Structure 1
């Protein structure tokens, strides 16, 4: 009885195994046969598809390029800090060295493998996204109360430090235009050269003041206020340049400028109070999402108006609430990603478009020297003279002139806009990048020299005038 039951159970098990095997094997055989028959057919675009698949894997190459860029920028930033420079200087230099000026020249095969066209395009998209986030952070850090409190001195110094470089830049553009103007009209070319001469980098200047421990001194506070006013004026002037270069007919230019003014009024008197109310009522996790959405929509609005997307992001930062700790924490999260990941990609993208080999002749290097000299003299002389005329001492006035000469990252952003608009050629771009590096790197050593000789002159005057004069001072 038991043996018969076991036999029936065995037969049932065997039948189930055979059925299961057939259910798997038969469909598999059918699939293989059909695929074999179908392989005889070739799609019309088969050759193009194979060529596309044979190209570099952009995603994989990007995952290799990103750590290389971040590592190079970090190491260069550490080295720059040890040399007494802000880390952003090292990051800018690292981005340039990764480009065709060094890496592409020394090892062209590896350069082409690491930065094929698809990877460069992806880096550009990420860099542009990082720039609009960075411009929001710059706008949000401008202390509007300090600007109002130091109104007269700050306004005078900042406006003269813009006006004199712009005048000298226009004169310089008159000489450069016959050689480097190309197909661009003189008006956009001259305006752009003038604007590039008048820029001050508010974020880099703030970092220099903090590193030297003078950000809370009267000189530091005045320099930050003047740089803030300069930043606002620079982006407004750049918006005019973009409008002129893209507008075509005068009526279109006036339309772009008019729409920009309307946008500014709406942001100040409609979006700003609405944003304050909304951010006060939503939960904290939603604050960052609202800020990100506002940044991108503001950037889109100015881009559609006909000026650069950066202006919209900057203005959104200016109107964003400043004293709300929830907003400050959200901005901190945004800043950590932007400064750590996205901005180094902008430096790399700038480096990929900077070719110092274009400056191959002695005459081009003489033009580069002239551009640098005009930029440094115009900014330093304008800032120093204006500060002295408003009652600031000589040493502080000279120090303020040195600080206002710091161009840094803001200048690179402006230069990239000009290159994208084709207002300047790659050769002029390389000249202006060198001017940016020289004027920014010279800021910290110039401050040290001014402080050193200023103290020495004070001691000498005390010895000459006697102890009574020193005591009266």
Structure 2
């Protein structure tokens, strides 16, 4: 078979297998399609299919096919991260800055500390810390992976729970938005290469300098032209960040943060988000799954995943309850908010991919973080749905809160 035919066979697996599992097994309640796609990416990787059918796996996912898939995955994730940046509504965050800052700070800081403690424990054993990582980079990177809230997936879950446009849903989005900004800032710190610090500072200064004329240009352009200019801006920012050593995804997020959603229209943004999620991101999930490894033994990877899951979920819930006490939230709010903010999935997986690329974590740590992300996201709907049902009967969800 030609490389093109094998590539198309791989694409057929990527798109058809998860859909059939999701539709036929009716997993939507506990595992939306995006989660099934992530799980199928792991199954199709070397740890499962590659272990049971090594010759078939090498035939389908040969180096030429994997290179092509990685190119598609990189473009898809760049668009996805840019859209996550565009979705940030910093004006709303500023309007409710006291509550937003307190809650976001706690929901980031507490699981970060818990994740750092888990990372410190893993560091006592061989095989978890990457070959190019300083201990503080490994601890901070793993801690941030536990503290991440997946803003785009959170939007999907809030929409599924019918609270996206309600006051509680908007509050949760504000908290997650602030955490997203902090996450990429910490990632830039972790990626900081002191030998190339001049390049990195130069990129950041040039980015700030060019942001002003870029925003003025976008405001004057007709809406039909803005998309083309935005894509050029995205590619330039991603190239600049990668050239400077910060990673192209940092540049993609920065490119989106300085764009206004009003420039494009919410309907078009939502449509692009859903299309990227449907058409491009499954390829990213598969390319992510191809990087999973179980060389230390499955039980050790699962133990590490359980430890990280405990740090992540426990940290978010503890932070939400502390915020609830400080800000006098109503009974039941803290539990709902904490469970929704612990959702991981895409952003955590993107974050872990960057750490793996830079050899801050090993493939085994990456696999544990991937399992943690899947587990935390699958827990969300089954736990939150009954809590929301009780809250709606008491009128909690429909009440505004500043």
Whether these two folds match at TM > 0.5 is yes
Determine which of 139, 154, 159 is the counterpart of 2:100: 154
Note if contact 2:30-2:379 (Cα within 8 Å) is conserved in structure 1.
Answer: no
SS at 1:358 equivalent? coil
- Output the CA distance in 2 between the equivalents of 1:375 and 1:58: 42
Q: Which residue of 2 aligns with 1:33?
A: none
Partner residue, 2:213: 270
Seen in structure 2, the aligned counterparts of structure 1 residues 329 and 375 have a Cα distance that, compared at 3 Å, is closer
2:150 maps to which residue?
Answer: 201
Q: Distance in 2 between matches of 1:171 and 1:83?
A: 33
The structural deviation recorded for 1:263 is 4.4
Question: Is the aligned partner of 1:448 residue 2:391?
Answer: no
- Unmatched runs of 5 consecutive residues or more in structure 1: 1-55, 459-473
* Structure 1 position 405, deviation (Å): 0.4
1:60 maps to 5
Distance 1:354 1:361, change over 3 A: closer
Query: 86, 89, 110: which is aligned to 1:164?
Result: 110
| Match in the other structure for 2:279 | 341
Q: Contact 2:43–2:289 (CA<8 Å) still a contact in 1?
A: yes
Structure-2 separation of matches of 1:260 and 1:390: 40
Structure 1 residues 426-466: Cα deviation after superposition (integer angstroms, max 9, x where no partner): 1111111111111111111221343467689x7xxxxxxxx
The 2-side partners of 1:256 and 1:382 are apart by: 37
Which digits, 9 at most, give the CA deviation of each residue in 1:347-384, with x for residues without a partner?
000111113x3352645543332222112111221133
CA distance in structure 2 between the partners assigned to 1:204 and 1:291 by the alignment? 23
Question: Separation in 1 of the partners of 2:271 and 2:229?
Answer: 13
Q: Counterparts of 1:215 and 1:331 in 2: how far apart (Å)?
A: 16
Q: d(CA) in 2 for partners of 1:361 and 1:136? A: 35
Deviation sequence 1:269-319 (CA, Å, 0-9, x none)? 332223222x23xx82x4432222111111112112221211222222222
Which string of whole-angstrom CA distances, capped at 9 and with x for unpartnered residues, describes residues 221-246 of structure 1?
11111111111111111111111xxx
When residues 238 and 287 of structure 1 are mapped into structure 2, their CA distance, relative to the original with a 3 A threshold, is same
CA distance in structure 2 between the partners assigned to 1:124 and 1:311 by the alignment: 18
Give the corresponding residue for 2:159. Answer: 210
Return the match for 2:58 from 81, 101, 112: 112
- Determine the C-alpha separation between the residues in 1 that align with 2:210 and 2:335: 37
Rate the CA distance shift 1:416–1:225 in 2: closer, same or farther, 3 A: same
For the pair 1:181 / 2:129, whether they are aligned, the reply is yes
In structure 1, distance between residues paired with 2:348 and 2:298: 25
CA apart distance, 1:344: 0.5
CA distance in 1, matches of 2:130, 2:256: 37
Q: CA deviation at 1:69?
A: 0.7
Q: CA RMSD in A?
A: 2.6
Q: Counterpart of 1:99?
A: 45
Which TM-score applies when normalising by structure 2? 0.89
Report the equivalent of 1:75. Answer: 20
Q: Give the number of the structure whose residues are more often helix, by fraction.
A: 1
The answer (yes or no) to whether the contact 1:76–1:94 under 8 Å persists in 2 is: no
Q: Which residue number corresponds to residue 227 of structure 1?
A: 176
| Aligned residue in 1 for 2:400 | none
Query: What is the rounded CA distance, in whole Å, between the counterparts of 1:290 and 1:407 in structure 2?
Result: 31
Q: Which has the larger Rg?
A: 1
| Paired residue secondary structure (1:406) | coil
Counterparts of 1:64-463 in structure 2, within 5 Å, are 64-78=9-23, 79=25, 82-179=28-125, 180-181=128-129, 183=131, 184-243=133-192, 247-249=193-195, 252-253=196-197, 255=198, 258-259=201-202, 261-263=204-206, 265-266=208-209, 268-277=211-220, 279-280=221-222, 284=224, 286-325=225-264, 331=269, 334-335=272-273, 337-355=275-293, 357-360=294-297, 362-451=299-388
- How has the CA–CA distance of structure 1 residues 264 and 149 changed in structure 2, closer, same or farther, with 3 Å as cutoff? farther
Q: 1:332 to 1:432 in 2, by over 3 A?
A: closer
Q: Higher relative contact order at CA 8 Å, sep ≥6: structure 1 or structure 2?
A: 2
- CA distance in 2 between counterparts of 1:318 and 1:257 reads 18
* Alignment check: 8 A CA contact 2:80 2:273 kept: yes
In structure 2, C-alpha distance between the alignment counterparts of 1:381 and 1:329, rounded to whole Å: 36
Quick one: distance in 2 between partners of 1:352 and 1:192? 21
How far the C-alpha of 1:261 sits from its partner, in A, is: 4.4
CA contact (8 A) 1:155 1:229 kept: yes
Aligned residues: 391
